[in-house]
Structure 1
């Protein structure tokens, strides 16, 4: 996603990376061996009817959720499958929230007409806070995803962003963090949410897969751009620069770069690998990071009474 290098909407886009020595990670086993995480998708649109323009259809949103589940589960017979010896099934499932913060039934899809003029001046000029003013559910219980109506010229320039978790993992300081006690979640350019016909290689729904990786504690494969420490995942071959190419090449120490890793900027059709060390890192975050662990017992996972 070479798109992420560029400009911002309200603030500079902060580069994320990937970090922690997997040997130090000893997460508890998740209940039933599967982590289930609740999502709420806030569609910030420009007033179009549902299914037109920035007001994405329910079908496109639901297909996007299928895609991230295929990717994180390394599901056979889907583009998310790989037979790489270091690739793994993350044992994570994502579901649209079943009840809202008030305990009412919900589809997990919220639609709000977007208008910058509606945001008061006293709301921090920080993109996550700006969108949270329009629509936000408590991040202890929900992964907030804002589908944002960026201008057309932002397509393939700004794909998405995410806040990283609080943890004691090396590289924690490289994540974009929320304001103290503030809103957090994932921002996705509407043009790159789900499957579309947009040109540029980022049209198969892998932007959300990548940003969920950041939200759950993964850094880019090039990490801190230092070959020796890199992303601290031993089974992601070291590289000290952004990975954008579609064909494999040699990185640090003459190792072949893992271009298929979801934490690269490669085109969507190339991506299909989370490594075992990356998965261990994610599990550690889900067991140890406060606003990630609480997701596992969210009321949003249960049907409303």
Structure 2
């Protein structure tokens, strides 16, 4: 099903990304396993006969180096799965000067996608799949405060980054329409078998005791990513959001705002300090 295809999965050193990497490798894909931890990334890559690619999305220099490596090694990139993410209960700033959760969950994925975009649109049909969350419905995008400086709640700031993922997907689909590239975002389900809450023990406990809703298994949480990478009709919901395997899932009212999606793209490009296509 994925024979001859190259799939790049970020956040693939554990959890949903690692499970999706294993499953897509079994379907015949050449999988680029991208993760923050050298040891965990190497372990997953070894399982599927791939080479590990280590990149910390808290460093934009790592993202740019990762893009250069991918472009140098793979003449085609058929699927880019923007799966890296983190939940933080305290504020931290990166060496680039951005809020850490904002940069890891949104800004770095935006940068990586745009750096790979020419390669992906040149090869014919390609897909960008971004892991969002049903928690995006608790977020709110303010174009004058993209990093949530005025939001005290960490969970609301997390929700905002996931809403930004959906708006990015919507605008990416609009900007590349007719190129053969499609973009989708999805909620994988709530699972305890992931490293995303590694810096947020309270959130991890809420998940474990099902206080944020019913739990999905790791296999169930990886299923939407595999489905979106392999479904025959790529155009069926281009620019849309899946709630697990259900297209057109419930979204925040801002998620359908085309004007906001365009302005968010423009403001993000400004933050990165360079014209971005």
TM-score normalized by the length of structure 1 = 0.28
Name the one with the larger helix percent: 2
The structure number with the bigger radius of gyration is 1
TM-score normalized by the length of structure 2 = 0.30
Q: Which of 1 and 2 has higher RCO (CA within 8 Å, sep 6+)?
A: 1
